[in-house]
Amino acid sequence: MEPEKYEIKKYDDYDRFLCEQYYSALRVEGKREKTIERYLPQIKLMLDRIQKPIREISTEDIRFYLAKYQAERHVKNTTLDGMRKCICAFFSWLEYSDYIDKSPARRIKQIKHDTVPERELNPAELERAMICSSSVREKAIISFMYDTAARVSEVAGITLEDIDFSENTVRLHGKGGKDRVSLFTEKSAMYLKEYLQERKYQGIELFCSRRRPYVPVTKASLEAMVRSIGKRAGIDHLHPHRFRVTRITNLVNRGMPLQDVQELAGHSSINTTRSYYRNNLENVKYSYRKAI
């Protein structure tokens, strides 16, 4: 296996071979390194705890392992379900690849957990964030983040070639290598053009650092910038994802078809998009009057 940190040392050569093959499969399938870093340590931890060869692990072994881990570590159900997903993916791949006859994780059901939706920004907070943006660069980034509902990693990866000012569209490079097109308003276009006129960076990336040496922005630098704006604006826990949540929530609650919002947001499941719907009285009244 390529990275030493993923090496399985306590088991027979065949177990090590299976883990190496799984690592290779994840790479060939185009999984991001962050995904691999999430999956493989979970597999190693499971094998360390269960202390059985992979082919002998049963459904009961996995259930007991997860239950004991939660009891000892007091982890939330969301964390435990993330562990379950990694284990299920591993055994599903083993079954699909004919290394085992049947996945023992197949009967491990999803662990229920309450999902607390991220609170969207209200109009006054959005306005304060723009007012407290101290430069054209910051205004361009904040306005663009909100308009496009882009993930922060997607914003960091945008190049000049991805922008089409004639249509006010941008090509976003999303999760799993999936590209999609999003849109931005004339207001964002104005800020972007003004920013591009004054910036001194000569690279192809759309956004760069504000000081020399000019380098492309990163996910971390964008998050730090937004936190700083939040402090200036008096908005607690402001981070880039809240602009995405706010835009998607507003589009859904203003009647944009869920399928269209799903496409714009890059959600793989429409249920994710549906979770942004706020079923308030005004929405109910509007839908009722529209239906009669």
Residues annotated as catalytic (active site), given as ranges: 151, 175, 241, 244, 267, 276
Measured between alpha carbons, how far is 60 from 57 in angstroms, rounded to an integer? 8
Measured between alpha carbons, how far is 34 from 26 in angstroms, rounded to an integer? 11
Crossing angle of helices 123-131/219-233, nearest 10°?
100
Going by C-alpha positions, the residue among 156, 174, 146 that lies closest to residue 248 is: 146
Q: 3-state DSSP helix/strand/coil percent for the chain, to nearest 5?
A: 60, 5, 35
DSSP one-letter string for 259-289: HHHHHHHT-SSHHHHHTT----HHHHHHHHH
Sole residue written with tokens 């190049």: 159
Measured between alpha carbons, how far is 236 from 139 in angstroms, rounded to an integer? 19
Crossing angle of helices 240-253/136-148, nearest 10°?
40
CB atoms within 10 A of CB 93: 19
Return left, alpha or beta for 22; rule: phi > 0 is left, psi -120 to 50 is alpha, else beta.
alpha
